[in-house]
Amino acid sequence: MLGFLIYEDSSAKYNKFFVDELIKNAKNEGIDLILKCDIDSLFKLKENELPDFAIIRVINPKLNAFFETQNIPCFNNYKTSLIANDKYKTYQLAKKLNIKVMDTLLFDNKCLNDDYPFILKSVDGHGGKEVFFINNQENLKNALLKLNHKKCIKQKIASSLGLDMRIYVLNQKILAAILRESKTDFRSNFSLGGEVKLVTINKEQEEVVKKICQNLDPAFIGIDFIRHHGKWILNEIEDVVGSRMLYKCTKIDVALIYIKYIKNKLQSLNIEKKGK
């Protein structure tokens, strides 16, 4: 069985532990998992150069679509990549599924003189980057300059800043929920210094996870909630979800579980082997 593990080069280096764990566990399962970082070259692959499957750890829905048009299973699939990597599409999905979410608008020139404060985000930002707390026109001008005309959303501010919860989901099963909190930033991301701890979730959150999974059929995602007036509200869906918090707060070997899931999924699809 031959698989491609696809990362941007800088991200592969930053996530070396997880990359190595995936490749090691794949080898133990009889899978040749090859790291690929030259994204553009993948679109030029000939039929005999294609893998049996692809673990796509880049934000590039076109790449997921390319492989799927070649009947190559992707983890995550194209629909998950398309929705989860666009915050406005995530908002639209939430409204469609009757999931509570903060009021959100696509940002345009009509918003320039709008009421402050609000949160401004690029639709495709990741890891807490390209997220700005806007409380006056000067903040807005500086943020728009940094975003360089990228597509953005304007979002109502949650009542509890610097606090959120990520629920890790693999094979539509909840692995764990991690609470993230920052004492110094309105963003609570672990990569930005947020403190983390393992927590339990309620039935309402379980139902949100179930609705999202039934619609997207994801392999491995994070579902993020923010706190607003005592209620947990859906914030984002993470397609290329990091695993550092899982390894820090739990004894879950997510790389092993992920590889075993992929192997079982491929066997159920009767994928022809191309590996050694």
Query: pLDDT per position in the chain (276 positions), as tens?
Result: 999 999 999 999 999 999 999 999 999 999 999 999 999 999 999 999 999 999 999 999 999 999 999 999 999 999 999 999 999 999 999 999 999 999 999 988 666 666 789 999 999 987 778 889 998 889 888 988 898 888 999 999 998 888 899 999 999 999 999 999 876 555 444 444 568 899 999 999 999 999 999 999 999 999 999 999 999 999 999 999 999 999 999 999 999 999 999 999 999 987 655 544
Domains of the chain: 2-81+254-268 (3.40.50.2300), 104-155 (3.30.1490), 159-249 (3.30.470.20)
* Contact call for residues 102 and 226 (beta carbons, < 8 A): yes
Predicted confidence at residue 276, as pLDDT, reads 40
User: Distances from the Cα of 126 to the Cαs of 39, 65, 73, 274, in angstroms?
Assistant: 18, 20, 24, 34
Question: Which tokens sit at 210?
Answer: 């179930």
Q: Which of 158, 127, 154 has the alpha carbon at shortest distance from 240?
A: 127
d(CA 241, CA 249): 16
Predicted confidence at residue 200, as pLDDT, reads 94
Predicted confidence at residue 258, as pLDDT, reads 98
Coil/strand/helix, residue 271: coil
Predicted confidence at residue 187, as pLDDT, reads 46
**What sign does the dihedral 124-17-167-257 (CA atoms) show?**
positive
Predicted confidence at residue 121, as pLDDT, reads 92
Predicted confidence at residue 188, as pLDDT, reads 47
HSE, CB side, 13 Å, CA atoms: give it for residue 25. 18
Predicted confidence at residue 191, as pLDDT, reads 47
